[in-house]
C-alpha cells in the first residue's frame, strides 16, 4: 500500500536498527533526518579491487616514477610520535601480506593518533613518496577504515566498497566508516524499494536509464562498475532534466503571462540614425538586429541575451533597439555595471543623439543619467524627467531598480551585464514597465553549456564578427628580465602616437597597502624607465568621479601612459590606447586577462598586449603544449597559470577563452546558479556532462512545449516531484 510505504521513508532515522537517539541527533546536524535523507547520502567515492595495489606492487609503481594517486590496504602495525622542537610528527607503519608502508602526519597529529588503532584495517589513498630510508610513504593521505569481513568479501568476490564523507558531527556522534556503511546498508536493504520513481517511465526507457530504486542501491553498493556508472548517470540525468524543466517553465511562464508591446517601425528615426554613423554595421550586427526587431514587433515580449566579444559593437545594436522603442512612444533604459561605465554610455549616447538631431532636426531624443552618487537636487531633477517622460533614454546603474524611480512609459530595458544581475533584479525591473522588453548584453562570452542553463530562459543572439579594418591584437609573453626592452618599445610607440595601459594586479589584501603598491609602481616608473613620458595613475581607492577624471585626461592625451590596478577592466573606450602591458600576468584569471586585452585594439592601428610573468612560467610555455583534452586534472591544476597565458597567446576568440576558463575553474566559480534562482548541481558537471545536458534540455523543452502546465497523466510524476523537491525554484515558473 502506497500511503504506508511513503510514511516509512519519511520516518526519522532514529528508528533504523543501530541508530537510536544519540546517533540520530548527529545525523540531524548534517541535515539527515528521515530514512529518505539517508538514502540520498551518497558515497564520495568507491573502492574496487582493480584499483587496489598491495604494498609490494605499490612500491614498484613508486620506483618506476608513477606520479598519480594509488590505494593500498594495510593493518596498523606500529604508531610512533616524534618531536622536533615545537613540531610533532606522527608516523604509522602499516602491514599487508607483501610488506610494509608508512603514513606520516605533520598536522593534527593528536587527532590522527587517536584514529588509527593497532590491528585496524585501512584503505590508504594518496600519491606515493619515497621516505628518507627508501620506504613507501604517504603524507597526509586519504584513508577509510574497513572491516576484515569487508576486506575478505571485497578481495574474494570483487565487491565494490563505498566510502562516505564522515564530517565531524558524525564522528563525534560515534559514527565512523564501518558503522555508517552498516547503517546505510540497512536502510538500502529495507527501504530502497519503497522509493517513488521521479521520472516518467517513457523517459527512463528512451534514454536507457535505470530506475530510481536500482540507482540508489547501486550508488551505495554497486553490483559492478557498470552498474555504478549507470547509477551515477541516472542521477546526473535527473538533475539536469529537472534543471532544464525549470528553465523551460520559466521561459514559458514569462511568455505566456505577459503580452509584449508589438512595436512597429513608424518613422525614419532608425534609418536616419544609421546615416549618421561613420561606419556600416557588420553582417553579424545586422543579423542580431533583425532578431531583436522580430522580438520587438511580435506580441511576445523580448527576453534576449546579446553576446559578443569586447568591441564587437553591442552598444550600437542596443541603441538601435532603444530607438525603435522610442519611435513607438516608449522610454528605454540602459543599465551598466558601474557608475563610470554608465557615465560613459550616457556621454556617448548623448553625443550620438546630438549628431542625429543636428542632421535630422525633426525629433530630439533626450538622454538622462541617474547615478547613486549624484547631488540631491540633480537627482530630483532626473527623477522628474523620468516620471514625466522628458527623458527618452535613461542611463544608470542598479539605481534604476529602486522604488523611487518611476517610469512614465518604460518599453525596453537594456542590461549591460557582467554576470552581476540576477533573475530577481531582472524580474523587478520588468515589473516597472507594463511589459518592458528586455535585452541583456554580456561583455564576456558565455560558454554554450552555461547559456543553456542559467541563461536558458533567454533567447540568444551572438555577434561573432569584429568590425572591419580591425587588426587582431598581437599578444606576447615575456619574462620579467625583458621589461627594459618592453619599456623602450613603449617609448618608441609613444612617439608614433600610441598610448599605453600598464596594469598591476592587486596583490595586497588591505586597501591601504594596495594604494601604496600602486603608488610605488607609479613613482618608480616615473623616476626610472619612463621618466620622459607623462604618466597617470588610476586605482581602486579612487571614487568613480576621480577615476573618470583621470580617464578623461588620458582620453585627451594628457598622459601617454596610464598606470592602473585592475580598475580599467570596465569598458572605457580610449581609441589611441593600443598597448597594454600586464604585469604578473599569471595572477589574473583568464577572462579577466581577456577583458583587459579588450581595452586596446579599438582602432585600425596594430595593437599589442604584452603579458609579463615569471621567467619560469615563460619557460613552461615555450616547452610545453598544453592540451586540456588530454591533461589530467592534477596537471591542469599544477599548470593552470601557464595554460591561461598560453591560451591568451593562442587565441583572440572570446568564446574559446570562455570555454577554457570554464574548464580551468569549474562552473561554480564563475557562474553562481544560486543567483539565477536555479538549483545547484550536486551530481552533474556542466563541463564534463555537456552531452547529457543537451539531451536533457531537448527532452525538457519538448515536454513543456507539449504540456505547458504539466496536466497530462504521464507527466504527473514530474509535477509532483517538482512541487515536492523544487518548490524554492518555482517562483518564476508557475505550473498551477
Ligand atoms: P561592445 O559594446 O561590444 O564592447 P562597442 O559597441 O562599444 O562594443 O563598440 C566598440 C567600438 O566599435 C565603438 O567605438 C563603436 O563605435 C565601434 N563600432 C561599432 N560597430 C562598428 C562597425 N560596424 N564598424 C566600425 N566600428 C564599429
Ligand atoms: Mg560595451
Tell me the pLDDT tens digit for each residue of 192-248: 999 999 999 999 999 999 999 999 999 999 999 999 999 999 999 999 999 999 989
Alpha helices in 30-163 (DSSP H): 35-39, 55-63, 109-115, 148-157
Cα angle 194-200-201, degrees, rounded to a multiple of 5: 80
Number of domains in the chain: 4
Residues 129 and 180 occupy one common structural domain: no
pLDDT for 416 equals 86
Q: Which atom of ligand 1 is nearest to the CA of 312?
A: 3
pLDDT for 5 equals 42
Residues 428 and 492 occupy one common structural domain: no
For residue 653, how many other CB atoms are within 10 A of its CB?
14
Confidence of residue 274 (pLDDT cuts 50, 70, 90): very high
Check whether 287 has a pLDDT greater than 60.
yes
Q: What is the CATH number of the domain that holds 541?
A: 3.40.50.300
Backbone angles phi, psi at 29, to 5 degrees: -65, -25
Residue 706 CB-density burial (10 A; 0-12 exposed, 13-18 middle, 19+ buried): exposed
Residues 515 and 643 occupy one common structural domain: yes
Q: What contacts 35, CB < 8 A, 6 or more positions away?
A: 8, 9, 10, 11, 12, 13, 16, 187, 191
In which domain, by residue range, is 548 found?
A: 474-651
Higher pLDDT, 677 or 488: 488
Check whether 390 has a pLDDT greater than 60.
yes
List the beta strands (DSSP E) in 181-312.
Answer: 303-308
Q: What is the CATH number of the domain that holds 186?
A: 1.10.150
pLDDT tens digits for range 525-551: 999 999 999 999 988 788 777 887 888
d(CA 350, ligand 1 centre) in Å = 16
Residues 72 and 94 occupy one common structural domain: yes
In a domain, 359, yes or no: yes
CA 111 vs. chain centroid, Å, equals: 36
Q: Which of 387, 379, 477 is nearest to 432 (CA)?
A: 387
**Residue ranges around ligand 1 (CB below 6 Å):** 279, 281-282, 285, 308, 310-316, 467, 571, 573, 602
Which ligand does the CA of 320 lie closest to?
1
Question: Please, what sign has the CA dihedral across residues 672, 677, 683, 684?
Answer: negative
pLDDT for 591 equals 84
- For atom 20 of ligand 1, the residue with the nearest CA is 313
Q: Which atom of ligand 1 is nearest to the CA of 314?
A: 3
- For atom 15 of ligand 1, the residue with the nearest CA is 313
In a domain, 728, yes or no: no
Q: Please give the mean pLDDT across all residues of the chain.
A: 87
pLDDT for 663 equals 83
d(CA 442, ligand 2 centre) in Å = 9
DSSP 465: -
In a domain, 293, yes or no: yes
Q: Which atom of ligand 1 is nearest to the CA of 463?
A: 3
Check whether 328 has a pLDDT greater than 80.
yes
pLDDT for 432 equals 60
pLDDT tens digits for range 692-703: 999 999 999 999
DSSP 6: H
Residues 120 and 183 occupy one common structural domain: no
pLDDT tens digits for range 5-53: 445 888 888 888 888 889 999 999 999 999 999 999 999 989 887 778 9
Confidence of residue 78 (pLDDT cuts 50, 70, 90): very high
Q: What is the CATH number of the domain that holds 104?
A: 2.40.50.140
Residues 126 and 144 occupy one common structural domain: yes
d(CA 651, ligand 1 centre) in Å = 20
Residue 386 CB-density burial (10 A; 0-12 exposed, 13-18 middle, 19+ buried): buried
Residues 534 and 509 occupy one common structural domain: yes
pLDDT for 431 equals 63
In a domain, 613, yes or no: yes
Q: Taking residues 375-386, report their average pLDDT.
A: 92
- For atom 11 of ligand 1, the residue with the nearest CA is 311
pLDDT for 253 equals 77
d(CA 23, ligand 1 centre) in Å = 64
Higher pLDDT, 731 or 292: 292
Residues 1 and 84 occupy one common structural domain: no
Q: Which atom of ligand 1 is nearest to the CA of 317?
A: 6
pLDDT for 258 equals 63
Q: Which atom of ligand 1 is nearest to the CA of 280?
A: 23
Q: Are 81 and 88 in contact (CB under 8 A)?
A: yes
Q: Are 280 and 273 in contact (CB under 8 A)?
A: no
pLDDT tens digits for range 545-595: 788 788 889 989 999 999 988 766 555 678 899 999 999 999 898 988 998
Higher pLDDT, 423 or 710: 710
pLDDT for 23 equals 92
In a domain, 596, yes or no: yes
Q: Which of 697, 450, 398 is nearest to 591 (CA)?
A: 450
Alpha helices in 52-135 (DSSP H): 55-63, 109-115
Residues 496 and 612 occupy one common structural domain: yes
Check whether 59 has a pLDDT greater than 70.
yes
- For atom 5 of ligand 1, the residue with the nearest CA is 313
pLDDT for 644 equals 92
d(CA 580, ligand 2 centre) in Å = 18
Check whether 2 has a pLDDT greater than 70.
no
Residues 29 and 120 occupy one common structural domain: no
Confidence of residue 4 (pLDDT cuts 50, 70, 90): very low
Check whether 96 has a pLDDT greater than 60.
yes
Identify which of 313, 337, 352, 602 to mutate to test ligand 1's pocket (most ligand atoms within 8 A of the CB): 313
Cα 89 to Cα 80, 113, 133, distances in angstroms: 8, 10, 16
Confidence of residue 638 (pLDDT cuts 50, 70, 90): confident
For residue 543, how many other CB atoms are within 10 A of its CB?
11
Cα 497 to Cα 158, 607, 628, distances in angstroms: 73, 12, 40
pLDDT for 734 equals 64
Residues 21 and 99 occupy one common structural domain: no
Check whether 380 has a pLDDT greater than 50.
yes
Q: Are 27 and 35 in contact (CB under 8 A)?
A: no
Backbone angles phi, psi at 180, to 5 degrees: -65, -40
Identify which of 316, 439, 577, 652 to mutate to test ligand 1's pocket (most ligand atoms within 8 A of the CB): 316
In a domain, 240, yes or no: no
d(CA 662, ligand 2 centre) in Å = 22
d(CA 208, ligand 1 centre) in Å = 49
d(CA 349, ligand 2 centre) in Å = 12
d(CA 314, ligand 1 centre) in Å = 7
Q: Which atom of ligand 1 is nearest to the CA of 598?
A: 4
Check whether 272 has a pLDDT greater than 70.
yes
d(CA 573, ligand 2 centre) in Å = 9
Check whether 637 has a pLDDT greater than 70.
yes
In a domain, 213, yes or no: no
Q: Which atom of ligand 1 is nearest to the CA of 277?
A: 16
- For atom 26 of ligand 1, the residue with the nearest CA is 467
Of 272-276, 316-320, 506-510, give the lowest mean pLDDT range.
506-510
- For atom 10 of ligand 1, the residue with the nearest CA is 311
Q: Which atom of ligand 1 is nearest to the CA of 573?
A: 14
Quote the CA–CA distance of 72 and 92 in Å, as a whole number.
14
Look at residues 651, 674, 689 and tell me which one is the last residue of a structural domain.
651
Check whether 623 has a pLDDT greater than 90.
no
Check whether 292 has a pLDDT greater than 80.
yes
Q: Which of 270, 289, 660, 706 is nearest to 463 (CA)?
A: 289
Backbone angles phi, psi at 367, to 5 degrees: -115, 135
Residues 497 and 557 occupy one common structural domain: yes
Beta bridge partners of 368: 394
Which ligand does the CA of 418 lie closest to?
2
pLDDT for 86 equals 81
- For atom 9 of ligand 1, the residue with the nearest CA is 313
Which ligand does the CA of 570 lie closest to?
2
pLDDT for 1 equals 37
pLDDT tens digits for range 550-560: 888 998 999 99
pTM score of the predicted model: 0.74
Beta bridge partners of 130: 136
- For atom 17 of ligand 1, the residue with the nearest CA is 313
Could you tell me the three cell numbers for 264?
512597429
d(CA 588, ligand 1 centre) in Å = 26
Q: Which atom of ligand 1 is nearest to the CA of 469?
A: 25
Cα 682 to Cα 238, 421, 454, distances in angstroms: 11, 24, 15
Q: Taking residues 398-409, report their average pLDDT.
A: 83
d(CA 180, ligand 2 centre) in Å = 55
In a domain, 671, yes or no: no
Amino acid at each position: 500500500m502506497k500511503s504506508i510505504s511513503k510514511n516509512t521513508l519519511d520516518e526519522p532515522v532514529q528508528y533504523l536498527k543501530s541508530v537510536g537517539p544519540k546517533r540520530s541527533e548527529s545525523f540531524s546536524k548534517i541535515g539527515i533526518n528521515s530514512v529518505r535523507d539517508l538514502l540520498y547520502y551518497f558515497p564520495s567515492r568507491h573502492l574496487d579491487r582493480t584499483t587496489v595495489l598491495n604494498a609490494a606492487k605499490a612500491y614498484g609503481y613508486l620506483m618506476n616514477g608513477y606520479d598519480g594517486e594509488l590505494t593500498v590496504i594495510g593493518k596498523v602495525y606500529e604508531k610512533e610520535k616524534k618531536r622536533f622542537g615545537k613540531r610533532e610528527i606522527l608516523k604509522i607503519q602499516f602491514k599487508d601480506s607483501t610488506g610494509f608502508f608508512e603514513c606520516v602526519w605533520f598536522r593534527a597529529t593528536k587527532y590522527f593518533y587517536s584514529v588509527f588503532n593497532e590491528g585496524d584495517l585501512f584503505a590508504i589513498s594518496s600519491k606515493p613518496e619515497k621516505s628518507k630510508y627508501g620506504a613507501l610513504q604517504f603524507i597526509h593521505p586519504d584513508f577509510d577504515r574497513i572491516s576484515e569481513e569487508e576486506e575478505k568479501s571485497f578481495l574474494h568476490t570483487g565487491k565494490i566498497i563505498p566510502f562516505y564523507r564522515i564530517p565531524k558531527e558524525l564522528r563525534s556522534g560515534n559514527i565512523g566508516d564501518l558503522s555508517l556503511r552498516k547503517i546505510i546498508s540497512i536502510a538500502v536493504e529495507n527501504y530502497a524499494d519503497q522509493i517513488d520513481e521521479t521520472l516518467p517511465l517513457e523517459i527512463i526507457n528512451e534514454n536507457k536509464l535505470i530506475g530510481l530504486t536500482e540507482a540508489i542501491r547501486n550508488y551505495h553498493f554497486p553490483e559492478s562498475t557498470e552498474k555504478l556508472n549507470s547509477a551515477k548517470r541516472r542521477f546526473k540525468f535527473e538533475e539536469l532534466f529537472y534543471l532544464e524543466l525549470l528553465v523551460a517553465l520559466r521561459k514559458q511562464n514569462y511568455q505566456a503571462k505577459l503580452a509584449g508591446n508589438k512595436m512597429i517601425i513608424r518613422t525614419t528615426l532608425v534609418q536616419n540614425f544609421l546615416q549618421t554613423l561613420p561606419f556600416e554595421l557588420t553582417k553579424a550586427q545586422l543579423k542580431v538586429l533583425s532578431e531583436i526587431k522580430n522580438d520587438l514587433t511580435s506580441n511576445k515580449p523580448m527576453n534576449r541575451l546579446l553576446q559578443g566579444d569586447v568591441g564587437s559593437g553591442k552598444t550600437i545594436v542596443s541603441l538601435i533597439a532603444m530607438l525603435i522603442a522610442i519611435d513607438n512612444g516608449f522610454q528605454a533604459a540602459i543599465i551598466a555595471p558601474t557608475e563610470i561605465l554608465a557615465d560613459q554610455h550616457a556621454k556617448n549616447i548623448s553625443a550620438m543623439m546630438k549628431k542625429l538631431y543636428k542632421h535630422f532636426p525633426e525629433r530630439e531624443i533626450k538622454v538622462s543619467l541617474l547615478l547613486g552618487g549624484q547631488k540631491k537636487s540633480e537627482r530630483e531633477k532626473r527623477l522628474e524627467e523620468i516620471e514625466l517622460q522628458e527623458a527618452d533614454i535613461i542611463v544608470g546603474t542598479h539605481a534604476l531598480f529602486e522604488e523611487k524611480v518611476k517610469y512614465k512609459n518604460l518599453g525596453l530595458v537594456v542590461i549591460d551585464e557582467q554576470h552581476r544581475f540576477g533573475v530577481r533584479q531582472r524580474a523587478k525591473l520588468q515589473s516597472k514597465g507594463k511589459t518592458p522588453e528586455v535585452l541583456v548584453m554580456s561583455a564576456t562570452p558565455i560558454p554554450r553549456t552555461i547559456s543553456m542553463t542559467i541563461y536558458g530562459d533567454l533567447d540568444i543572439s551572438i555577434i561573432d564578427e569584429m568590425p572591419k579594418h580591425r587588426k587582431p591584437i598581437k599578444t606576447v609573453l615575456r619574462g620579467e628580465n625583458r621589461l627594459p626592452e618592453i619599456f623602450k618599445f613603449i617609448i618608441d610607440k609613444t612617439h608614433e602616437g600610441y598610448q599605453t595601459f600598464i596594469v598591476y594586479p592587486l596583490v595586497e589584501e588591505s586597501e591601504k597597502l594596495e594604494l601604496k603598491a600602486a603608488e610605488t609602481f607609479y613613482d618608480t616608473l616615473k623616476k626610472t624607465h619612463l621618466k620622459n613620458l607623462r604618466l597617470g595613475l588610476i586605482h581602486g581607492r579612487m571614487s568613480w568621479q576621480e577615476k573618470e577624471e583621470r580617464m578623461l585626461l588620458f582620453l585627451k592625451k594628457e598622459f601617454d601612459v596610464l598606470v592602473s590596478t585592475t580598475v580599467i577592466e570596465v569598458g572605457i573606450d580610449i581609441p589611441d590606447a593600443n598597448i597594454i602591458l600586464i604585469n604578473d600576468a599569471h595572477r589574473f584569471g583568464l577572462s579577466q586577462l581577456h577583458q583587459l586585452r579588450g581595452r586596446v585594439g579599438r582602432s585600425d592601428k596594430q595593437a599589442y598586449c604584452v603579458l609579463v610573468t615569471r621567467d619560469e612560467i615563460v619557460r613552461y610555455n615555450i616547452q610545453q603544449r598544453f592540451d586540456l583534452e588530454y591533461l589530467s586534472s592534477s596537471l591542469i591544476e599544477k599548470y593552470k597559470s601557464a595554460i591561461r597565458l598560453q591560451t591568451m597567446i593562442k587565441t583572440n576568440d572570446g568564446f574559446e577563452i570562455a570555454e577554457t576558463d570554464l574548464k580551468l575553474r569549474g562552473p561554480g566559480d564563475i557562474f553562481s546558479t544560486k543567483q539565477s534562482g536555479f538549483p545547484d548541481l550536486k551530481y552533474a558537471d556542466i563541463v564534463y556532462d555537456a552531452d547529457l545536458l543537451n539531451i536533457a534540455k531537448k527532452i525538457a523543452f519538448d515536454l513543456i512545449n507539449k504540456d505547458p502546465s504539466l496536466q497530462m497523466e504521464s507527466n504527473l510524476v514530474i509535477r509532483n516531484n517538482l512541487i515536492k523537491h523544487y518548490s524554492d525554484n518555482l517562483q518564476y515558473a508557475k505550473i498551477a
